Structure 1
Amino acid sequence: MTIAVILAFLVLAVIGMPLAFALGLASLIGLLAGGIDLSVMPQRMLHAVDSFPLMAIPLFMLAGELMVRSGIMRLLIEFADALVGRLHGGLAHVAIVAGMILAAVTGAAVASASALGSTLVPSMRKSYDDGYSSAVIASAANLGAIIPPSNAMIVYALMAGSSVSVGGLFMSGIVPGIILTLGFMALASFISWRRGFKLTGNRLKARELAIRTWKALPVLLMPVVVVGGIIGGVFTATEGAGISVFYAFVMGMFVTRELKLSDLPDALFRAAVSAAMVGALIAFAAAVTFIFTIDMVPARIAGLLQSVTSSPEMFLILVMLILVTVGMFIESNAAYIMLVPLFAPVAISFHIDPLLFGFLFVFNLVIGMVTPPVGIVLFVMSGITKLPMARLIRNIWPYVLLQYGVLVLCMLFPDIVTALPRAMGY
Structure 2
Amino acid sequence: MAEILFAALAVLLLLGVPVAFALALSAFVAVALGSSFPPLVVAKEMFSGLDSFPLLAVPFFILAAELMTGGAMTAVLLRFASALVGHLRGGLGHANVLSSTMFAGISGSALADAAGPGAMMTRMMEQGGYPRAYGGALTVSAAVIGPIIPPSILMILYAMQDQNVSVVTLFVAGIIPGLCLALGLLAANAWMSHRRGYGAHAPRPPWSEIGRTTVHAAPALGLIVLIIGGIRGGIFTPTEASVMAVAYALLCGMFVYRSLRLRDLPQILLRAALTSAAVLLILGAARAFAWVLIIESVPQSLAAFILGLELSPIAFLLLVNLLLLAFGLFLDPLPGVMILVPILSPIAFALGIDPVHFAIVMIVNLTIGLTTPPLGSLLFVVASAVRLTPLALVREMPPFFAANVAVLLLLTLTPSLSTWLPRISGF
Tell me, yes or no, whether TM beats 0.5: yes
Q: Supply the AA of the counterpart residue of 2:323.
A: I
Report the Cα distance in structure 2 between the residues aligned to 1:362 and 1:184, rounded to whole angstroms.
18
> Match for residue 249 of structure 1?
250
Q: Supply the AA of the counterpart residue of 1:34.
A: S
**Counterpart check, 1:12 vs 2:18:** no
User: Is the CA contact (8 Å cut-off) linking 1:28 and 1:41 kept in structure 2?
Assistant: yes
Correspondent of 2:146 among 125, 144, 147: 144
Question: What percent identity do the matched residue pairs reach?
Answer: 38
SS at match of 1:81: helix
> Match for residue 399 of structure 1?
400
SS at match of 1:306: helix
> Match for residue 347 of structure 2?
346
- Of 201-210 and 352-361, the range deviating more from structure 2: 201-210
- Of 221-230 and 391-400, the range deviating more from structure 2: 221-230
SS at match of 2:38: coil
Q: Supply the AA of the counterpart residue of 1:7.
A: A
SS at match of 1:125: helix
C-alpha deviation, 1:230, in angstroms:
2.9
The one-character-per-residue Cα deviations of 1:297-354 (angstroms, maximum 9, x if unpaired) are: 1110011112223422222222211111001111221111111111112222222211
Superposition map of 1:120-159 within 5 A: 120-127=121-128, 128-159=130-161
- Of 363-372 and 49-58, the range deviating more from structure 2: 49-58
Superposition map of 1:199-348 within 5 A: 199-348=200-349
The one-character-per-residue Cα deviations of 1:366-395 (angstroms, maximum 9, x if unpaired) are: 111111111111111100111122221111
C-alpha deviation, 1:37, in angstroms:
2.8
User: Is the CA contact (8 Å cut-off) linking 2:5 and 2:26 kept in structure 1?
Assistant: yes
Report the Cα distance in structure 2 between the residues aligned to 1:222 and 1:164, rounded to whole angstroms.
23
Report the Cα distance in structure 2 between the residues aligned to 1:210 and 1:332, rounded to whole angstroms.
38
User: Is the CA contact (8 Å cut-off) linking 2:332 and 2:377 kept in structure 1?
Assistant: yes
What do you get for the CA RMSD once the two structures are aligned?
A: 1.5
**Counterpart check, 1:91 vs 2:92:** yes
The one-character-per-residue Cα deviations of 1:67-106 (angstroms, maximum 9, x if unpaired) are: 2221111111111111111111111111111111110111
User: Is the CA contact (8 Å cut-off) linking 2:282 and 2:334 kept in structure 1?
Assistant: yes
Report the Cα distance in structure 2 between the residues aligned to 1:201 and 1:151, rounded to whole angstroms.
37
Report the Cα distance in structure 1 between the residues aligned to 2:233 and 2:178, rounded to whole angstroms.
20
Structure 1 residue ranges, 4+ long, deviating more than 3 angstroms after superposition: none
> Match for residue 66 of structure 1?
67
Q: TM-score, normalised by structure 1?
A: 0.96
Report the Cα distance in structure 1 between the residues aligned to 2:390 and 2:43, rounded to whole angstroms.
39
C-alpha deviation, 1:253, in angstroms:
1.1
Change (3 A) 1:201 1:227: farther
Report the Cα distance in structure 2 between the residues aligned to 1:178 and 1:172, rounded to whole angstroms.
11
Q: Supply the AA of the counterpart residue of 1:331.
A: D
SS at match of 1:201: coil
Report the Cα distance in structure 1 between the residues aligned to 2:179 and 2:74, rounded to whole angstroms.
20
- Give the paired residue count: 425
- Of 144-153 and 229-238, the range deviating more from structure 2: 229-238
Structure 2, gaps ≥5 residues long: none
Report the Cα distance in structure 2 between the residues aligned to 1:371 and 1:378, rounded to whole angstroms.
8
C-alpha deviation, 1:287, in angstroms:
1.7
> Match for residue 387 of structure 1?
388
> Match for residue 21 of structure 1?
21
> Match for residue 188 of structure 2?
187
C-alpha deviation, 1:234, in angstroms:
2.5
The one-character-per-residue Cα deviations of 1:204-238 (angstroms, maximum 9, x if unpaired) are: 22222222222222122222112322344322222
Q: Supply the AA of the counterpart residue of 1:312.
A: P
